Structure 1
Amino acid sequence: MAEKNDSFYDKTRGKKKLSIRNVIILILITNLITAGVILYAPIAGRRTVSADEYKFLNQFKKMITVKDIVENNYINKVDENKMVEGAIKGMVDAVGDPYTVFLNQKEYQDLMTQTTGSYAGIGTYVGDKEGRIVVIAPIEDSPAEKAGIKSGDIILKVNDQDVSAKEMDKAVSLMKGKPGTAVKLTLYREGVGTKEISITRATITMKTVKGEMLKDNIGYIRITQFDENTASSFRNTLNGLKAKGMKGLILDLRDNPGGLLVSSTEIADMILGEGKIVSTVDKSGKEEVIKSDQNKLDLPLAVLVNGGSASASEILSGAIKDFKAGTLIGTKTFGKGIVQNIIDLHDGSAVKVTMAKYYTPSGASIQGVGITPDIVIDLPEKVKQNPGDIKPEDDTQLQKAIEIIKSKI
C-alpha cells in the first residue's frame, strides 16, 4: 500500500490535525452518499440515517475507539500507517478464505511479477492445508528444487520465525530477498519428520513451457505454471513437435500450481474439440461458460498429474478427462476449484478475492476433492525422496504414459 502521512493529534500544541479518524469517517460517509443510502432530513439541523447505516457507522466507530486506546496508552510510538494497513488486512482475513487477501504495494508487485516476469527468491508455490503452509510445488530448476524441497512439504518456520497459513504473506516475504543471500526453512515431511534446510536465493526466471521429442516420435511438453506467455509458448512448442512428425503427446502438469485461467483455457482450446471447457458460478448464481472451437489436437494424448497439480492445471486436466480427449495418469490432484480476481485499488495495493467456483464440463466441482486420474500410479519411494534428480527410466508415471501412447499410435 502507498503510505499516507496522516497524523491524529498534535498534543503539544493542543490542535487537531487532519486525522486518520476524519479520513476514514469521510470515506465512509462519502461512500454512503455515493451509493445514495443516506437520507437527509432537515430535522432541527440534523440528518437521519437508517438502522443499517447506523450499525455500519457504529462498527467503524469501534475501530476508531480501539485505535485511540492503543495510540494514547501504548508505551512506544505507534505507526499509524501500519495500524491502518493491519486493520484492512484483518478485515479481509476475517472472511476466512486463505485465497482472499489484501495485498500491500510490495505483495501486489510480487504477485504481478509471478505472472509476468522474474523475481528473487527460492522458487516455491505454496498453499493452505489445514491452517499450515504447504508446498504445492517447487519451481523447476529453482534453488528450492535443487535443495530437495518437494510437493507436500509443510513449512513450519522461516529464519526461525513460526509461520502458518494465516501468515502466508509474511512467510512468502521472508523467503524472498536478494540473490545470493541465504534463508533457513524448517520443514515437516510426512514419513521423514522435521528438518532444517538452508537455501541460497536466486533470480527465478519463469520459463513455463519445455518440450522435446521422445523415442517413437512421442512428443513431451511440460508446463510448470500458467502465466500470460504460457499459451503462446505452448502453441509454438506444439507446432514444432508436429513439424518433426509427432505421433502422440505426453502433457506433464505435475507440480503445476496453476496461474491464469485464460492461459489454461487457451491451451484447452488447442487440444479439445468443440464444447464447454469450464464454467464459473459467482455468489449471485451467475454462470459464465468458456467454450472451445471445433479444432483439436487429434493425436493420442496422455496427461501426467499429481498432488501438486492445482487450479488452472485442474481446469485443463479436468476438461481433457471429461472430453475423453486423453488419459490422465498419476495421483489425485490438489483440489483448488475456486477462481480469484485481483482488484487494483489504484494506489499500488490491491485485493485478491475469491469471486467464483469453477466446474468441469461434466458439472463437477473439484474444490477440496481433486481429480482422480484414469490410471492411478505413484512414483517409487526413492524417486519421491529425490524429485529433483529423477531419471526417465525411474519415472513410473512417465513410463506408463509412454506405454499408453504406444498402444494408440
Structure 2
Amino acid sequence: MILMKKKTNKILVLLLTLTLLLPSFSFAQTSVDYEYVDFIVEYINAYYIKDIDYETHQNNILKGLLQNLDPYSDYYSKEEYEEFINSLNQSFSGIGIVLKFEKNNVVIDRVLDDTPAKAQGLKAGDVIISVNYQKVEGLSLEEVTSLLRGKAGNIVRIEIKRENELKVIKVRREKIEISPVEYDVFKGVGYIKLNSFSDKASEKVKEALKYIDTVGTNKVILDLRDNPGGYLDEAVKVASLFVPKGPIVHIKDKYGNVQSHYSNLEESKYKLVVLVNEKSASASEIVAAAVKDTKAGYIIGTKTYGKGTVQNIVQLPKEDAIKLTVAEYFSPKWVKIDRVGVTPDLIVENETFDIQLEKAIDYLNN
C-alpha cells in the first residue's frame, strides 16, 4: 500500500483540491443521478420490514461506492479511520501481545518488551480462554485482538491456560508503539528488517544504519520480505539512503501528469542486498525497483506482489475518510510494477530454513 496524506476540515477546500488535481474534470458530464438514488433510499426506508440504522446504511453506501472502483479504494468511518491510521503507524491502545492460532487455540506468540503484558507476567505459549468473560473459542484473531484493545487506562481481564492450569490475569491497557524496524549485526553484516513504511520508518532505518556504522561494516541487508507498504514519502526517504543521485520513482496520474521523486545522495557507502518475496508490496516495491534499476544493490528472493498504484487518503469534515487510487508509479527506468512485480537479480525460494538470508550474507562476504 502507498499512501499520500492529505487532511482538510472544509468540504470546499477538499473540492478545490480535487479540482486542482484534476483540472479537466467535468462534474456535469459524470455526475450521479442523486434524485434517483434518493428515491430508492426513501422507498427502502418506508417499506423495509425492519428498522434501519441510518448511519450504518450510509456508511455501507459509501463503502460500496469506493470499494467497487478497485481493491485499494475505500471509505472509513471515523472509528475505522482511526484504527486504519493506528495500524499503519503501528500505534494502538492495548496490552502488547502478538497472537497466533495453534491446534485450534488462540495462543500468545510473542510478548512485546516494555509493555503491560510483560509486566503482568503473560508469556509466549499461554492459551487465551476468555477476554473480559467473553470466550474466544470460534473467534478470529482479529476479533480477539479487538477485544484486547480499547481505551488506555482501562483494565482487561484475561483468562489463560498455562501448562493445564487456568489463571486469570488483569492488565491495564496502555498506548503501545511498535517500531517498524529491527536490526542487528552478525557474520560481519548489518541486518535491517523493515516491517512497514510507517511514519517513523526512515527515521528508524537511519538509527539502524548509525548503529551498523559504529560496528565498522559497510555491508547491509535490507529485509523487505512480508512488508505490505505504507507511506510514499517514507519509501522515498528510505530509498534515498542507498540510491545514488537521480530518480527514485515516477508517479503518473490518469491525465498523464508526472511527478518524479529524486535522491540527492552523491554516493552510497554501503554494499547492499535487498531481500524481497511475494508479500513485499507497494512502497517495498518502490525501494526494490529503485535499487535494482540504479544498481545500488543486489535483489535476492522471489518476485514481489505487483501493487503499483498510489492511494490518496483524505479526512472529511465528519472525521471520516476516503482512500482513493489516484495514480500509478513506475521505477526510475519507467519499468511497470502494477500487476507485474519486481523480479530479483537472484531468485531464491525459502524451504525449511532461511536460504534467502544465507545467500545474502554469502553474497556480501564473498
Alignment TM-score, normalising by the size of structure 2? 0.71
User: Which residue pairs with 1:206 in the alignment?
Assistant: 178
Write the mapping of 1:95-110 to structure 2, written as runs, cut at 5 A.
95=69, 97-110=70-83
User: Which residue pairs with 1:398 in the alignment?
Assistant: 357
Per-residue deviation, 1:312: 0.5
CA distance in 1, matches of 2:238, 2:179: 16
CA distance in 1, matches of 2:76, 2:272: 39
The alignment's C-alpha RMSD in Å is 3.1
C-alpha distance 55-102 of structure 1, shift in aligned 2 (>3 A): closer
Q: 2:243 aligns with which of 243, 260, 272?
A: 272
Q: Say whether residues 1:91 and 2:59 are aligned partners.
A: no
Q: 2:44 aligns with which of 70, 89, 111?
A: 70
User: Which residue pairs with 1:239 in the alignment?
Assistant: 210
CA contact (8 A) 1:122 1:204 kept: no
Q: 2:91 aligns with which of 90, 93, 118?
A: 118
Per-residue deviation, 1:71: 1.4
Q: Say whether residues 1:322 and 2:293 are aligned partners.
A: yes
Q: Secondary structure in 2 aligned to 1:328?
A: strand
Q: 1:332 aligns with which of 300, 303, 321?
A: 303
The range that moved more, 66-75 or 221-230, is 66-75
User: Which residue pairs with 2:200 in the alignment?
Assistant: 229
Write the mapping of 1:355-366 to structure 2, written as runs, cut at 5 A.
355-366=326-337
Per-residue deviation, 1:207: 1.4
Per-residue deviation, 1:208: 0.8
- Greater helix share, structure number: 1
CA contact (8 A) 1:122 1:175 kept: no
User: Which residue pairs with 1:134 in the alignment?
Assistant: none
Per-residue deviation, 1:55: 8.9
Paired residue type of 2:357: L
CA distance in 2, matches of 1:54, 1:333: 39
Paired residue type of 2:210: N
User: Which residue pairs with 2:225 in the alignment?
Assistant: 254
Unaligned runs of 5+ in 1: 1-26, 36-51, 125-139, 148-157, 162-170, 183-201, 384-393
**Whose relative contact order is higher, 1 or 2, with alpha carbons under 8 Å and at least 6 apart?**
2
Per-residue deviation, 1:94: 2.9
C-alpha distance 173-56 of structure 1, shift in aligned 2 (>3 A): farther
C-alpha distance 370-64 of structure 1, shift in aligned 2 (>3 A): same
User: Which residue pairs with 2:316 in the alignment?
Assistant: 345
Higher gyration radius (CA): 1
CA distance in 2, matches of 1:402, 1:173: 36
The range that moved more, 303-312 or 81-90, is 81-90
Q: Secondary structure in 2 aligned to 1:355?
A: strand
Per-residue deviation, 1:86: 2.0
User: Which residue pairs with 1:166 in the alignment?
Assistant: none
C-alpha distance 63-142 of structure 1, shift in aligned 2 (>3 A): farther
C-alpha distance 211-55 of structure 1, shift in aligned 2 (>3 A): closer
Paired residue type of 1:404: Y
Q: Secondary structure in 1 aligned to 2:322?
A: strand
CA contact (8 A) 1:208 1:224 kept: yes
Q: Secondary structure in 2 aligned to 1:67?
A: helix
C-alpha distance 344-400 of structure 1, shift in aligned 2 (>3 A): same
CA contact (8 A) 1:142 1:204 kept: no
Per-residue deviation, 1:368: 1.0
CA distance in 1, matches of 2:296, 2:28: 54
Count of residue pairs the alignment pairs up: 289
Per-residue deviation, 1:64: 1.4
User: Which residue pairs with 1:177 in the alignment?
Assistant: 146
User: Which residue pairs with 1:45 in the alignment?
Assistant: none
Paired residue type of 2:185: M
Per-residue deviation, 1:260: 0.8
User: Which residue pairs with 1:38 in the alignment?
Assistant: none
Alignment TM-score, normalising by the size of structure 1? 0.64
CA distance in 2, matches of 1:378, 1:265: 28
CA contact (8 A) 2:218 2:271 kept: yes
User: Which residue pairs with 1:19 in the alignment?
Assistant: none
Q: Secondary structure in 2 aligned to 1:234?
A: helix
Write the mapping of 1:157-172 to structure 2, written as runs, cut at 5 A.
none
C-alpha distance 324-239 of structure 1, shift in aligned 2 (>3 A): same
Identity of aligned residues (%): 32
Q: Secondary structure in 2 aligned to 1:112?
A: helix
